[in-house]
Amino acid sequence: MMAELLIRPFSPEDNDAHWRILAPVIAAGETNALPRDMARQDALAYWTAPGRQVFVAEADGVVVGTSYLAANQLGGGAHVANAGYVTAADARGRGVARALCAHSLAQARACGFRAMQFNFVVSTNEVAVRLWQDMGFAIVGRVPRAFAHPALGDVDVLVMYQAL
């Protein structure tokens, strides 16, 4: 964990930093179900879509990660939160995702959500799977071969969940 990590709401001034973080992850296409050639404007619009609370993690004034928090469904599913996280490539291994996830869980509780669900955790993203388990999430579903990994072919996708 970086001592200096500050998590604060996203503002449009963070767009450049957001794209710097999102672009390599989207282009790699190994962990997210987004088009690998997704344009900057589309990616930023997707990540900060209406209804999402977006936060950034800053270390020494530099944005090193981003998260969103939203209801996973409408109506009878609106008590379950969904969230997503991306860490800057040059800031990995420093606890950014863990801090963003802890912040999301607290924020979700504060907003009255009664659970959090991840719909699409790529099973080969083992660092993430272990981290979410460590943060209290259980694997409640496994969809066979639901992700076309650019190097590994079709791999399973996990649904993960925890009550809040």
CA distances from 62 to 17, 27, 49, 88, 128 (A): 8, 22, 23, 10, 23
Smallest gap from residue 38 Cβ to a copy of itself (A): 8
Which pair of structure tokens corresponds to residue 13? Answer: 């001034």
Smallest gap from residue 82 Cβ to a copy of itself (A): 11
Q: Residue 53 or residue 120: which is nearer to a copy of itself going by CB? A: 120
| Dihedral class, residue 111 (left if φ above 0, else alpha if ψ from -120 to 50, else beta) | alpha
Smallest gap from residue 27 Cβ to a copy of itself (A): 11
Q: Residue 97 or residue 157: which is nearer to a copy of itself going by CB? A: 157
Cα 106-3-11 angle, rounded to 5 deg: 55
Q: Residue 67 or residue 117: which is nearer to a copy of itself going by CB? A: 117
Contacts with a copy of itself by CB under 8 A lie at 26, 29, 32-36, 38, 72-80, 114-115, 117, 119-120, 122, 140-150, 154, 157, 159, 161, 163
Smallest gap from residue 14 Cβ to a copy of itself (A): 23
Structural Rg of the chain based on CA atoms = 15
